Amino acid sequence: MRKTVTRLADGRELVYFDAHDEDRAAVDRRPLDPVVSASEIRYDALLDEYVAIASHRQGRIYHPPADSCPLCPSTADWQSEIPATSYEVAVFENRFPSLEGEHGRCEVVCFTSDHTASFADLTEERTALVLAAWTDRTAELSALPGVEQVYCFENRGAEIGVTLAHPHGQIYAFPFTAPRTATMLRNAAAHRAHTRRNLFDDLVERERKDERVVLAGEHWTAFVPYAARWPYEVHLYPHRRVADLTALDDDARAEFPRLYLELLRRFDRLFGPDAPPTPYIAAWHQAPTARSGAAEDRDEFALHLELFTVRRASGKLKYLAGTESGMGAFMNDVSPESAADRLREVASS
């Protein structure tokens, strides 16, 4: 892999990742003013959680036409966020960040220069390159002062709230440990104190024996969780417990592209051949950084990916209604067992 680090016209960092030896020396010639943001972190004492206030994001780009996409390569007629005329994988600092400076950092990950593609269309080689980019950024961002957790994710589909159609994801470097991670760590600590075993190990061991396994390899297993919150939800775990992406071994890295692409392609077949692409969120759960307040719990955490869709049936979405939005109490219309059955039915032939 070749990594090329450069700067955009306003000083933001841009990083190209290439599987082959490519020259990415193009210069951003746009007359950009420096990024001015007003990100603020506020603490909710009742819930013991932090909230980012980022009012400047109201002015971010919203559903631009394809010929004005900021994530496509630049051309003679259009100068985008990526000066090169082609690229494999590109990562740059978000111009409209929810977190910035001492409050963290937000990056955009472009999976391909093909505007019309999706992640499921990528080759295994390109998927391996994306994994390498996620790993690199996890290492780099974890080393920044004040960063306590790095979160790599993809939002796909207008139903999720995506405002740019180009296939891309994001990376947030939080200045705090995210609420869900904090809850997992507390429960893992309690489980260790009670049983002297690791909670994630016990969970994955149990799930690997269950009927809700969707896809299994030599180094990874994907399953619909017993208490799934979303209509179609899959968790993907490496068999060897590690804290974050940087700790995956070569065998797990080599197997991941095939399994992950198969999962994404199954998601697109869930609702029949005539259904539009399935909207989804793909979320990497990683341990807090070594310098964070929860550093002592890193060994107890297990890296995993959670993939889920808000579509519950053809033409029907799962909205967060009063119980979910108001109280955080989820009500799932699809049983995890039937969801697993369906995800096995749509396997590639």
User: How do the domains of the chain map onto residue ranges?
Assistant: 2-30+38-174, 179-345
Nearest to 157 by CA among 281, 246, 274, 65: 281
* Sequence-ordered list of residues with C-beta below 8 angstroms from that of 209, at least 6 positions apart, any chain: none
The per-residue pLDDT for 63 is: 76
The reply to whether domains 2-30+38-174 and 179-345 share a CATH topology is yes
The per-residue pLDDT for 22 is: 82
Q: List C-alpha distances in Å: 248 to 9, 20, 96, 239, 297.
A: 35, 22, 31, 10, 18
- Note if 63 is an active site residue: no
The per-residue pLDDT for 197 is: 97
The per-residue pLDDT for 251 is: 98
Superfamily of domain 2-30+38-174: HIT-like (3.30.428.10)
Whole-number Å distance between alpha carbons of 221 and 135: 20
Q: Which residue has the tokens 């109201």?
A: 58
Q: Which of 166, 168, 235, 285 is catalytic?
A: 168
- Cα distance from N-terminal residue to C-terminal residue, the chain: 32
The per-residue pLDDT for 34 is: 83
Superfamily of domain 179-345: HIT-like (3.30.428.10)
Number of C-alpha atoms within 13 angstroms, CB side, residue 200?
A: 25
Q: List C-alpha distances in Å: 261 to 62, 126, 258.
A: 28, 11, 5
Whole-number Å distance between alpha carbons of 87 and 112: 7
Q: Is 35 exposed, middle or buried (0-12, 13-18, 19+ CB in 10 A)?
A: middle
Ranges of residues in the chain with a pLDDT under 50 are none
Q: Tokens standing for 320?
A: 């967060």
